[in-house]
Structure 1
Amino acid sequence: MARRREDGLSRTRSALYGLARLLGDVSAVRKGTVGRRLLRRAAGKVTGRLLEKLFR
């Protein structure tokens, strides 16, 4: 089966989410809360993986 090309909307949304994540990182550096941000991001990834396994 041929791989479907991403449409413009998906590509734009991905770019915007990436930019938002980058801006959040910059904001955390300026506020001095980088460690807290890293912990929350890691906790979110773990939670997402657990939920994915739960609802398979």
Structure 2
Amino acid sequence: MGINKTRGFLYWLARLLGDVSAVKKGTVGKRVARRLAGRATGKMLRKLFR
């Protein structure tokens, strides 16, 4: 397995663990909102720096 696949797996695992943690703390809505804000920001920056 290459380094990129390993890194991708680790990022996936970290995201999953963050989701589990949010469920335990009861902050799922806040996490979803932050994820959506991050995706929107990424899209805007992508368009800006094309």
TM-score after normalising by structure 2: 0.98
Could you tell me which runs of 5 or more consecutive residues in structure 1 were left unpaired when the two chains were aligned.
Answer: 1-6
Give 1:37's aligned amino acid. Answer: R
Larger Rg: 1
Counterpart CA distance in 2 for 1:35 and 1:8 is 35
Return the alpha-carbon distance in structure 1 between the equivalents of residues 24 and 4 of structure 2. Answer: 30
**Stretches of structure 2 lacking an aligned partner (at least 5 in a row):** none
More helix by share: 2
| Structure 2 counterparts to residues 10-29 of structure 1, below 5 A | 10-29=4-23
- Number of aligned positions between the proteins: 50
Residues 22-41 of structure 1 mapped to structure 2, 5 A cutoff: 22-41=16-35
Q: Given residue 15 of structure 1, which amino acid in structure 2 is its aligned partner? A: F
> Percent identity over the alignment?
66
Q: State the TM-score, normalizing by the size of structure 1.
A: 0.87
